[in-house]
Every structure is written in structure tokens, then in C-alpha cells.
A and B are shown apart, each in its own frame.
Chain A
Amino acid sequence: MIEMMLTTALVLFALAIAIALYRIISGPSIPDRVVAMDMIVVNLISGIAVVSVLLKTKAFLEVILILGILAFISTIALSKFIERGVIIERKRDG
């Protein structure tokens, strides 16, 4: 019963990722696609948590932290690129 609940949750996260993938393909603007990318990574984090519970291992828990940090940094870099056109600004001359 518990295994069936976990498998159902995994299927639901995969369904959410598929729907967000549709938004990435057909999104009218770039911020739509960035929002859907953020949502895909967040669903991937919870999918990894469910997989590590299903396989009864603790080895995948670092992956959750690293994916969270990578999603945050990439969203910040993309939003700065959309807003200003550059990601890392240069120092102004004198």
C-alpha cells in the first residue's frame, strides 16, 4: 500500500513535469519559459526524494541540495539577462 502511494506520487510529479514541458515548448515569452524551467527543477527535486525513499537509500539526498542551488542560480542569471542584457557587469572606466 505504501509502495503504491509512493509510485502514484512519482507518476504525479512526472505528469507535472510533462505539463510544464508543454509550457516551455509553447510559451509565448521568455519569462514564461523560465518560470516553467524553475517548476520542472522543483518537481525533479521532489521526484528524487520519492525515488530515494522507494529505493531505501540515503545516497541521493545531496542531489536535492545541489539541484536547489543550481535552479536558484540559473533563474537569477536568466532574469538578470532578460532585464539588463548582461549577466556580469563590467566596472566602469574611471
Chain B
Amino acid sequence: MNVSEMDEFIGAFLILIGGIISVISAMGIIRFPDVYTRAHAATKSTTLGVLLSLVGAFIYIWMTENYISVRLVLGIVFVFITAPVSGHLIIRAAYRSKVNMTEDTVEDELKAILDKQTEVH
């Protein structure tokens, strides 16, 4: 195995790790009990999986064709910035539209604060 094959192997290995992490987070999205824990699994580990696979593709294209793809770098930065924001927004909408939590929840600290705000207004 010479040097350029080693570099290709690093890129393909990162892509494979990203695939495994995506499947793990998909298991999380069918096994967790309510929407909040499901979004916890979906936003964090799926973002990690897609970032790993995009970095792997970037390294692979860089090493094989000697081409630094600016579009791929922009895609990595954009996914990294927007995925947590969209997860936050959809969970905020789920809480405000009163989606039920699981029965295992012990404490809901946000509910008291929101009730106090509606009393004031």
C-alpha cells in the first residue's frame, strides 16, 4: 500500500464511520419514547455522521484528483451551522404546541416559567 492509497483509505474510512454513526442515530429515532429524545438522537449524531462523510469525501477528492472543493467546504460549514438551529426550532414548536412527554419525565422546569409569563400578560 503506497502513500496515495493510504490517503484514499483514510477518506473511505471516514465515510464508513459516518455511515455507521448514521445507522446508530436511526436506531435512536425508532427506539426513544418521545419527540424530545428522538430529536436529541436525530440532530446530534446525524450531524456528526454527515460531517464525517463529507470530510471523508473532501479528503478523497483532494487526494485523488488534487482538487480542493470549495463547494464541499461550504456544504460542511452550512450543515454544521444550520442543523442545531433547525433542531432547536422544531423542538420549540413541539413544546409550544403541547406535544406530550414520556411518563418517565421527572421535572418540567420550562412549564412554570411559561405559566408565570402568561399570568403577567
A interface, CB within 8 angstroms of B: 1-2, 5-6, 8-13, 15-16, 19-20, 22-23, 29-32, 34-36, 38-39, 42-43, 45-46, 49-50, 52-53, 56, 58, 61-62, 64-65, 68-69, 71-72, 75-76, 78-80, 82-83
CB distance from B67 to the nearest CB of A (A): 7
Residues of A with C-beta under 8 A to B86 = 38, 71-72, 75-76, 79
Residues of A with C-beta under 8 A to B13 = 5
Contact A29 B99, beta carbon cutoff 8 Å: yes
Contact B22 A22, beta carbon cutoff 8 Å: no
Q: For the complex, give the distance between the alpha carbons of A72 and B85 in Å.
A: 9
B interface, CB within 8 angstroms of A: 5, 8-9, 11-13, 15-16, 18-20, 22-23, 25-27, 29-30, 35, 38-39, 42-43, 46-47, 49-50, 53-54, 56-57, 60-61, 64-65, 67, 69, 71-72, 74-75, 78-79, 82-83, 85-87, 89-94, 96-97, 99
Q: For the complex, give the distance between the alpha carbons of A87 and B54 in Å.
A: 32
Q: List 17 A-B contacts (CB under 8 A).
A: A1-B9, A2-B5, A2-B9, A19-B23, A20-B26, A31-B90, A31-B97, A31-B99, A39-B26, A42-B83, A43-B49, A46-B18, A46-B19, A49-B56, A53-B57, A64-B72, A82-B94
